[in-house]
Chain A
Amino acid sequence: MGESRSSLRRGFRVIAVLAAFSLVAAACGSSSSSSSSGGSSTSGSVANTASAPGITPTSILLGSHQPLTGPAAPGYSEIGPAIEAFFQYVNAHGGIYGRSVTFKYLDDGYNPANTVQVVRKLVLQDNVYAILGGLGTPTHTAVVDFLNQNKVPDIFVASGCNCWNEPKVHPYTYGWQPDYIIEGKVLGAYIKDHFAGMKVGVLYQNDDFGGGGLIGIKQMLPASQIVSAQPYDPTTLTNGLGTQVAALQAAGAQVVVLFTIPAATALALLSMAVLGYHPTTVSSSVSSDPTTLAGLVSNFSKGKVGASALNGLYTLNYLPMSSATSDPWMQLFLKIHSQYDSKEPVDGNMVYGMSMAYYFTLAMRAAGQNPTRQDLINAINSQGATWTGPGLAPLGYSATQHLGFMGSEVVQLNASGGATAVSPVYVTNVQGPVTTHASVEGPVPSWLQ
């Protein structure tokens, strides 16, 4: 794909000239290098065509459903803007094959009935090329069949449900973040390695997220070690989590595993502080964005307890921590944030959105200059497992497996909101054994600099 970038021939259609012009301009504007920046350069001999719905010679239209209003909006409403900001940065650096990406994300309020509506609008009326990062298990479940029946690429669902990894039933749907069962297995493996013999209690949300986590943990630990598993209903968080935490305390759990959304994590930590209960606390990656949590728990006791309520909390990490300012990816993301996303906070949701947009950009570049929808699917199936970037664990994409990150590392939070890695990267899939590896985080490619 590394053709020379300025061999414009006569006879090109006007539109191709324009595309190439903008590309050259972008190349001059950036710190141009002579590297093979394949995907972002128009080929010398072939013009950009409108090769698929949502693709024109100069643009790519993507859609998504996100909770921007309602009870699920806090936190998650930052993901859409982060994805959009990353694409704006890519567009300013030549786009993808000279095409600029438009990311249209609509509010579904985390209500599946609304999701059905907005996704039909995106597919049938706006004619998007693909759906990227549709957020939530119950919401996305409502549209996954529609998308597959219409052969619309349904890329990187923003949920760790095991249900996206069903290539036979849903060949157009791909997971991205670590499967909840995998997260449970990784946490279980860590507990087995470091807290052997200690009594374990689990606090989990009573849906696919908490349920999946519990399945994973039970795969790794003997049944006798798990002394109590307390579900909670996310719709009754108004009542707090005091009763569940009191029950875990009464069962004598020395290690408490949290499969909780961030608000519930904060409530659980609050209840632990209230009851003077100080178990070793271990949580899923979903539960514990340190930036969000530190803000929530800082006032438990007139600010005196402060972020130390988080101190010592173990959690999972498959992308750079938003506090890791020395990480080259975080440096890129912070640069993008200051240019295009400065209204939103710098936290795990931002890292999540930008990383997802990066991997999608890789997929589009691999799909070729004039991709059909099937080309994108083929590219992910054949090359997806080899892509590297901000992710610490390898991706599990193949024709028979649509699993995203296959594991994560365990980190421990400190009082200042930072974190230190305390394990190598645990890698597994849903059924197989858990192994440890070094991080596969890759360098920032030159076409992004």
Chain B
Amino acid sequence: MEESMVEAKPEPKQLPAAKQPQGLRRLFGQPLVRNIIVGVVALVLFYLLIGHLSQYRIYQLSQVGPYLIALVGLSVLTGQNGQISLGHGALMAIGAWTLTLMQLHTKSPLWLMLIASALVTMVFGALLGLVAARLRGPYLAGATLALALGLPDITTRYQSVFGGYQGLEVNQPNAPSFLGATATPTEWLAIIEMICVVVVMILFANLLRSRVGRKFRAVRDDEIATQVSGISVPRTQVLAFALSAAAAGLGGGLFALVSGNVSPGGYTVVLSISLLAAMVIGGSGTLAGAVWGSLIMVYVPGWATTLSQKLSLNQSVSANLALAIYGFLLVAIIMVAPVGVQGIVRLVIFKMRNLRKEPG
């Protein structure tokens, strides 16, 4: 996937290829085709990988997917379009409850439920986008934060529908027979997620390369110039919000499946804030940054806990210390790498390429 991610960086320059290669090369040169090939290879590698992992490791890995997809959405909205959202946790909640309620009340197949999670959330996102298009910077951040605060309370207000604080149970799908009799729901879920990740990455990579992506960046960089050149700024912003919400909704649906339940305590302001932090730390506006961000969200708190437990303090102190380490890392990473982990990776790749060129 690495190649396609790097392609998606915000610089609007590298658009139509200057030279037109021939035949198969030309086909492979098509970004879409290349992305699909890379995606399929990644999928196969992932399938081989999980064969070697313990159930817990697979489960842990399957937590990455929902965050990753939500972060892709947030990254496009904030990094590419310049709209800050502190409410993506609430959008994930909408996707999560959509899937859960469909599973509870209908006999829909899984793919339909996942698509519905994305679409329902997209509608909410478009509505939110209408509000957001009038707001800038911190005012938008405040409005979305208030959404993240308020939305979970709907579930306790209408307990009979949404399950109240206890939430609702979500059944994890059983693995289909072609994966073999020993495949567990955990493994199957990891595979479903990887498929979703690949599809979402390919869709967004192409979106960002397209006219729409250029519009997004134009609005981010200079609203007045964009408006003058005949592109509707509010319409672009609403579109960005809707697409971003669709990704968050799909992420939420998958998150419900992985957790095996949905309850408001899992979708608080803390989730929204963590998403924004992970997005920036991974590398704002890049798809690869979303990968780093989601890995950080899943693995770093665990490492911080392990680290603080090494000090053999009492559990309560050590749990707080783990949190302190996490907070410290947020500050430290931003200070060391203002453009996020992906910024560092890109710098390293750039330097290595230069090194290779010099001798020749």
A residues with a Cβ closer than 8 A to B are: 66, 68-69, 73, 77, 80-81, 84, 105-107, 110-113, 116-117, 120-121, 124-125, 137-139, 141-143, 145-146, 161, 163, 206-208, 211, 233, 235, 343
B270 CB contacts on chain A under 8 angstroms: 111
CB closest residue in chain B, given A66: B315
Whether B350 is near chain A, meaning CB under 8 Å from some CB there, is no
A160 to B165, CA, bound (A): 14
- A residues less than 8 Å from B316 (CB atoms): 68, 73, 77, 80-81
Chain A interface, >50% SS class:
helix
Beyond A81-B314, A146-B260, whether A208 also contacts B265 by CB under 8 A is no
Taken together as a complex, chains A and B put the C-alpha atoms of A263 and B320 apart, in Å, by 21
Tell me how far the C-beta of B171 lies from the nearest C-beta in chain A, rounded to whole angstroms. Answer: 9
Contact pick for B259, options A112, A208, A235, CB 8 Å: A112
Question: B251 interface residue, CB < 8 Å from A?
Answer: no
Kindly list chain B residues whose C-beta atoms are within 8 Å of the C-beta of A117. 60, 63
Does B124 have its Cβ within 8 Å of any Cβ on chain A?
A: no
Find chain A residues with CB under 8 A from B264 CB. Answer: 138
Q: Are A141 and B167 in contact (CB under 8 A)?
A: yes
Interchain CB contact (< 8 A) of A138 among B59, B60, B165, B320: B165
**Is the CB–CB distance between B259 and A207 below 8 Å?**
no
> Which residue from A84, A138, A233 sits with its C-beta under 8 Å from B167?
A138
Asked whether B208 is an interface residue with its Cβ less than 8 Å from the other chain, the reply is no
The residue of chain B having its C-beta at the shortest distance from the C-beta of A207 within the complex is B165
Contact B156 A112 (CB under 8 A): no
List B contacts of A77 (CB < 8 A).
316
Which residues of A lie under 8 Å from residue B164 when comparing CB positions?
A: 206-208, 211
What residue of chain A has the Cβ atom nearest to residue B168's Cβ? A141
Least CB distance from A133 to B in Å reads 13
Q: When chains A and B are docked, how far (Å) is the Cα of A211 from the Cα of B164?
A: 11
A162 to chain B, nearest CB (A): 11
Please judge, given known A-B contacts A107-B319, A233-B153, whether A116 and B259 are in contact too, CB under 8 Å.
Answer: yes
Which residues on B sit within 8 Å (CB–CB) of A141?
A: 166-167, 169, 261, 263
Q: Which residue of B lies closest to A117 (CB)?
A: B63
B323 at the interface (CB under 8 A from A): yes
- Give the shortest distance, in Å, between A357 (CB) and chain B (any CB): 15
Closest to B321 in A: A69
Instruction: Tell me whether B166 and A113 are in contact (CB under 8 A).
Output: no
- Which A residues are CB-close (under 8 A) to B315? 66, 68, 80-81, 84, 105, 107
Contact of A107 with B156 in the complex, beta carbons under 8 Å: no
Contact between A138 and B263 (Cβ–Cβ < 8 Å)? Answer: yes
Name the 4 nearest CB pairs between A and B, nearest first: A124-B56, A68-B319, A113-B266, A107-B319
Instruction: Assess the A142–B167 pair: CB atoms within 8 A.
Output: yes
Determine the chain A residues whose CB is within 8 A of the CB of B166 once the complex forms: 137-138, 141, 161, 163, 207-208
Cβ of A81 to closest chain B Cβ, rounded Å = 6
Q: Chain B nearest CB: distance from A190 CB in Å?
A: 27
Most A Cβ at <10 Å: residue of B152, B169, B263: B263
> In the docked arrangement, what's the CA distance between A66 and B258, Å?
21
The digit string for B215-249, where 1 denotes a CB below 8 A from any CB of A, is: 00000000000000000000000000000000000
Given contacts A110-B265, A111-B266, A208-B164, contact A145 B169 (CB under 8 A): yes
Contact string against A for B residues 262-288, beta-carbon threshold 8 Å, 1 for contact and 0 otherwise: 011110101100000000000000000
Chain B residues near A110 (CB-CB < 8 A): 265
A124 to B62, CA, bound (A): 15
Q: Shortest Cβ distance from A234 into chain B, in angstroms?
A: 8
Q: Known contacts A113-B266, A142-B167; is A120 also within 8 Å of B156 by CB? A: no
Q: Which B residues lie within 8 Å of A124 (CB)?
A: 54-56, 59
Q: Report yes or no: B56 in contact with A125, Cβ–Cβ below 8 A.
A: yes
Name A146's closest neighbour in chain B (CB-CB).
B260
Q: Closest approach, in angstroms, between the C-beta of B230 and any C-beta of chain A?
A: 45
Nearest-Cβ distance from residue A17 to partner chain B, whole angstroms: 29
Q: Give bound CA distance, A100 to B261, whole Å.
A: 35
A206 near B156: Cβ-Cβ < 8 Å? yes
A-B contact pairs, 18 of them (CB 8 A): A68-B316, A81-B316, A84-B315, A105-B315, A111-B265, A111-B268, A112-B263, A112-B266, A113-B265, A124-B55, A124-B59, A138-B167, A141-B169, A142-B263, A163-B166, A207-B156, A208-B165, A343-B314
